[in-house]
Amino acid sequence: MLEARLLEEKLAALYRSGKIVGGVFLGRGQEALSVALGVHLRRGDIYAPLIRDQAGRFAFGDTILDTLRTYLGSSLGSMRGRDGNIHRGRPSEGYHAMISHLGAMVSTVCGGLVAKRFRGEKGAVGATCIGEGGTSTGSFHEGMNMAAVENLPLIVVVANNQYSYSTPNDRQFACSDLLSKATGYGVAGHRAIGNNLIDCLAVIGEAVAAARRGEGTQLVVADLLRLVGHGEHDDASYIPEAMKKSPLGRDCLELARQSLIEQKWLSDDEAGSWHEAVEKEVEETASKVLREPAPDPSEEDWNAFASPSLGRNP
Amino acid sequence: MSSITYLEAIRLAQLRALKEDPRVFIYGQDIGVFGGAFKATKNLAKEFPGRVLDAPISEDAMVGLAIGAAVEGMRPIVEMQFADFSTCGFNQIVNQAATLHYRTGTPCPIVVRLPSGGTPGSGPFHSQSMEAIYAHYPGLVVMTPATVEDAYTMLLEAVELEDPVIFCEHKFLYYHLKAESLPATVGEALPFGKARIARPGRDATIVAYSAMVHEALAAAEELIQDGYDIEVVDLRTVRPIDTDTILASVARTGRLLVVGEAWPWGGVAAEVIARVATEGFGLLDAPPQRLNAKETPVPYHPALWGTHRPTASSVANSLRQLLEL
């Protein structure tokens, strides 16, 4: 969580100083929910994070280095400047690279799980995340229904952050509770308190465990508030002050820190040194990546095909 | 040996793929025990239990599932019930399957079978030819077999390819087109991506693909009585497109007519003409021509449909005009 928060603060600063070649989309306020999924996944699982999942990505094994390389467009990053920011992954390692079209990754993860079933691999799960706005798409619906029909070990975490970009929930859906969708699809439903790390860990932990036990598809819905704009270009002025000051608007990172200190699992000094260490790593990595080469158009093969015979003039 | 239809060739190609490659599975609506709307998977579910799966009516998720399975090393074949319905899976095809390898370096070897083109009485939503739309997107291979042999060998090639393949199989050819036997070896006659000279000639070139190859061949026969010898090039795949074979043919004949069942605007015929005009302008003795469907949705009534699409007779008329230019 801390790594995600501090890295994203650096990304925002780099964006403001014009160093980022594309957009910046942050997960501030959603780190607890995101990381709670990432830490319950393991090698051999499939993970398709969405735009506010920097914390989950780190927990799944992504690095500060590759994140910075992708945002800054370094040719050494996993996307080689061909795609950027949150559209990042290593599909062959079970870490899917999202497309912008919401809901599309649900069925893609289903496909990975079907492949594992064909191969007789047991115990692996797949997981993806989406916002409440994404649940309005046809893709989400088709993917959820398909996962349920195939009884796949898929966990879908819905971060209900109240606004889809600027659109409030009363213009997004008319059901009183998004969790009722679980009943409609015939899958298990779980509710988590989105800015409470301990609760997110427990609820998502149980959802992942149930999927691993063979209990089929699991839908987790968590209410929270995104504490930034949709992207760094957006000041989120459409979110009312009263909502920001409500329990929904409490910062999950600060709550987690307080909770750890109250439980005496963490001291103020330790929290401070964690902060310092991560900040140092982020700064050092950013300095290094800023000196790395951008992709060179003259060295690109400009070939969208994988088959060697389809190289030129297809 | 009893004669094999174009449809049976597609079924047999899938049977062979399932038998020879444990990575292959087929996913689509009504394709399991029922054997598919056209019976292209008849008995396959019985013969290969668990590998020929009925899908919910969810074209988007069907393609999404295939992509995710391909990433994990499988070779999925998706059957769209009709090519027209692939628009509901368009996003997954063009934004996920087509971009995956370029973005991430991970190949996406899926085959999406599109029962394509018009048949009498099928109307606007069961008749479309979608090849130009998919060929527009870099990263997609688009196959349009015109013969029984090609339907068989090209589908097997599609399964082998590392790239996503849109396999446009023509419904009008399903039952009418027959061959005595199927080639045992794939890619022996013509390698992947190579066009075929379906009929050699010297006076004009018709470039066609899919069902229109047969209308073109019939028109060429008709022109014999006018004293003309027409060459017919069957593209076989529209992406990649075999520009070399097209240019070589135009170099021999000096005249070009491109025939497509799809609409003309931004289509395959337009692409062929653009390539010949830019790369082979000096080879032309007359302005290149194209003949496509009329610019309306595909009509329901057979009398309207028969005039909407190019036919041997309208191709022959276009040829006569071209030969007088």
| Arithmetic mean of pLDDT, A146-152 | 98
Where in the sequence of chain B do the CATH 3.40.50.920 domains occur? 196-324
Tally the residues of chain B.
325
B196-324 carries CATH number 3.40.50.920: yes
The mean per-residue pLDDT over the stretch A280-305 comes to 95
- Mutation for testing the B interface, residue in A83, A107, A121 having most B CBs under 10 Å: A107
Residue A178 has pLDDT above 70, yes or no: yes
Q: Which residues of B touch A137 (CB under 8 A)?
A: none
- Inter-chain touch B65–A114, beta carbons under 8 Å: yes
Phi, then psi, of A260 in degrees rounded to 5: -65, -40
Residue A193 has pLDDT above 60, yes or no: yes
| Token pair for A19 | 């160093």
User: What is the spatial distance between Cα A133 and Cα B321, in angstroms, rounded to a whole number?
Assistant: 57
Q: Is the dihedral of CA A60, A66, A67, A70 positive or negative?
A: negative
Say if the Cβ atoms of B141 and A138 lie within 8 Å.
no
Residue A313, pLDDT > 60, answer no
In sequence order, the 6+-apart residues with CB closer than 8 A to the CB of B50 are A118
The percent helix, strand, coil of chain B (3-state, each to 5) is 40, 15, 40
Task: Give CA–CA dist B164/B69, Å, rounded.
Answer: 13
Eight-state DSSP code of residue B93:
I
Q: Looking at the whole model, is its pTM more than 0.95?
A: yes
What does the pLDDT read at residue A311? 65
**A104 CB-near residues (< 8 Å, 6+ apart):** A98, A139, A143, B60, B64, B91, B92, B95, B96
User: Vertex A24, ends A48 and A167: CA angle to 5°?
Assistant: 80
Euclidean distance between the first and final Cα of chain A, in Å?
Answer: 46
pLDDT tens digits for A197-226? 999 999 999 999 999 999 999 999 999 999
Q: Which of residues 25-44 of A touch B (CB under 8 A)?
A: none
Domains of chain A: 2-293 (3.40.50.970)
Which of B96, B166, B82 has the alpha carbon at shortest distance from B124?
Answer: B82
Sequential pLDDT tens for chain B (325 residues): 569 999 999 999 999 999 999 999 999 999 999 999 999 999 999 999 999 999 999 999 999 999 999 999 999 999 999 999 999 999 999 999 999 999 999 999 999 999 999 999 999 999 999 999 999 999 999 999 999 999 999 999 999 999 999 999 999 999 999 999 999 888 777 999 999 999 999 999 999 999 999 999 999 999 999 999 999 999 999 999 999 999 999 999 999 999 999 999 999 999 999 999 999 999 999 999 999 999 999 999 999 999 999 999 999 999 999 999 9
- A115 — contact with chain B (CB < 8 Å)? yes
**B73, B104, B139: residue with CB nearest A304:** B139
Chain length of chain A: 314
For the beta sheet containing A188-193, the strands, ordered from the edge strand earlier in sequence to the opposite edge, are A46-48, A126-131, A154-160, A218-223, A188-193
- Tell me what pLDDT residue A314 has: 59
Can you give the pLDDT at residue A312? 61
CB of B87 within 8 Å of a chain A CB? The answer is no
What percent of chain A is modeled with pLDDT above 90? 96
User: Does residue A195 surpass a pLDDT of 70?
Assistant: yes
> What value does the mean pLDDT take over residues A8-13?
97
Active-site residue flag, B170: no
Residues of chain A with pLDDT > 70, as a percent, come to 99
Domain with CATH 3.40.50.970 in chain B: 4-179
CB-based contact, B92 to chain A, within 8 Å: yes
Determine, for residues A143 and B104 on separate chains, whether the beta-carbon distance falls below 8 Å. Answer: no
Average pLDDT of the residues in A29-58? 98
DSSP 8-state class, residue A123:
S
pLDDT at residue B2, rounded to an integer: 67
Task: Please tell me the distance in Å from B96's CA to the nearest CA on chain A.
Answer: 7
- A248 pLDDT more than 80: yes
Nearest to B61 among A101, A143, A313 (CB): A143
Residue A166: DSSP 8-state: T
Across the range A83-104, mean pLDDT stands at 96
Report domain B4-179's class. Answer: alpha beta
A110-138 pLDDT per residue, tens: 999 999 999 999 999 999 999 999 999 99
Helix (H), strand (E), coil (C) string for B180-227: CCCCCCCCCCCCCCCCEEEECCCCEEEEECCCHHHHHHHHHHHHHCCC
The per-residue pLDDT for A39 is 98
